[in-house]
Amino acid sequence: MAGELASLAQAFFAAAPELSLQALGSGVHVPSLDLSPYGIPVKHLLAEHNAELARQYLTLNQLAFGGIGVPRWVLSDLYLLPGAIGLLRCPARLLKAPARERLLLADEEPAIGAACYVAPSLTPGLFVGVSLFSFLPGRSASAWVKLLTLGMVRAKRLRGVTQWDNPAVRVHSRLGPMRLVGRVPGGHEYDERTFVYETDLSDEARVARAMLRGDAALPAVRIPVTDLLSLGTLLDRAEAGARLELVPPGQDDGHVLVREVPPG
Ligand SMILES: CC(C)(COP(=O)(O)OP(=O)(O)OC[C@H]1O[C@@H](n2cnc3c(N)ncnc32)[C@H](O)[C@@H]1OP(=O)(O)O)[C@@H](O)C(=O)NCCC(=O)NCCS
């Protein structure tokens, strides 16, 4: 199944010719990036020379995340200086409300439709998912911009933070099973329903099957996303070493789908 992700990525862009992949970050990192992840060309835009695009990203991030949107200095110091944001660009008319109105762009002007930022970490190959959003519903735009951004930065593993009841669980599980790591170090604004997960990206064929939802459904226990007691117990067990994962599609009808992987 080698090269399967390249075929899937090409099919995604062939079906949506108005979308293109770009990156916004500091020029110093360009040689470290793969600007053709899964064969999709990335146009890298220097953050040093594209302040207007950075402002557009800031506006959309704050719209997507409300009270916990990125502050401007964090965008500069912790996104654009150390890394690169992956962007799906499109004509502004494709954006869902209220993003379109907020940006005040004419219909055909280029806009950010979806974006992903993953931060580099001290552990080689391990990146941390920081911000993922999409204003292009109904076409798996966030799963694609996430996968292609991870390819662009050459990530092998991802640790991310999400909430049991966030529809994004279905997006994250497009890249494969989400192993439960535990609670968020240092806490979180939505602590009681937030957790850290890890996705292993080293097996491209497995990621491709997950993107297609091609694997047979694994046996899983269904736990309501509101059952915070049971979900908290899962995190206790994960923190104590149990191997627990959310299996694709991760979430279904108000439940998360959990399985315990036997040791060995
Ligand atoms: C979560 C988000 C990124 C998804 O955007 P998207 O990729 O355009 O979403 P899509 O319409 O393609 O849907 C993606 C999946 O989520 C599911 N989904 C989307 N909205 C949903 C909702 N309100 N309830 C349940 N499921 C939902 C879709 O059914 C789809 O599932 P599938 O992949 O199994 O078919 C977007 O809603 C967003 O930007 N949210 C705010 C920011 C955020 O929470 N980011 C994630 C932080 S962890």
Tens of pLDDT, residues 3-60 = 899 999 999 999 999 999 999 999 999 999 999 999 999 999 999 999 999 999 999 9
Omega of the bond prior to 177 within 30 degrees of 0, cis? no
Distance, in Å, from the CA atom of 172 to the CA atom of 194, rounded to the nearest integer, reads 14
Three-state SS for 106-126 is CCCCEEEEEEEEEEECCCCCE
Distance, in Å, from the CA atom of 248 to the CA atom of 169, rounded to the nearest integer, reads 9
Taking the whole predicted model, whether its pTM rises above 0.95 is answered as yes
| Å from CA of 46 to ligand 1 middle | 29
Q: For a substitution probing ligand 1, which of 85, 142, 166 has the most ligand atoms within 8 Å of its CB?
A: 142
Give the residue whose CA is nearest to atom 37 of ligand 1.
Answer: 134
Show the ligand 1 pocket: residues with CB < 6 angstroms: 64-65, 132-134, 136-143, 162, 166-168, 170-171, 174, 249
Task: Give pLDDT, residue 216.
Answer: 81
CA distances from 168 to 62, 79, 161, 178, 189 (A): 17, 21, 10, 12, 17
Other CB atoms within a 10 A radius of the CB of residue 12 amount to: 21
Which helix (H) or strand (E) segment holds residue 10: the answer is helix 4-15
Q: What DSSP string describes 72-100?
A: HHHIIIIIITTSEEEEEEEEGGGSPTTHH
Model confidence band, residue 1 (pLDDT cutoffs 50, 70, 90): very low
| Å from CA of 167 to ligand 1 middle | 5
Tens of pLDDT, residues 198-239 = 999 999 999 999 999 988 888 899 999 999 999 999 999 999
Tens of pLDDT, residues 230-239 = 999 999 999 9
Tokens coding 101: 């109105």
Q: Buried b vs exposed e over 62-97: b needs ≥16 C-beta within 10 Å?
A: bebeeeebbeeeebeeebbeebbbbbbbbbbebbee
Q: DSSP state, 263?
A: P
Which phi and psi angles does 23 have, rounded to 5°? -140, 145
Task: Give pLDDT, residue 197.
Answer: 99
Task: Give pLDDT, residue 215.
Answer: 82
Q: Are 33 and 93 in contact (CB under 8 A)?
A: no
For residue 152, give the nearest of 37, 13, 38 by alpha carbon: 37
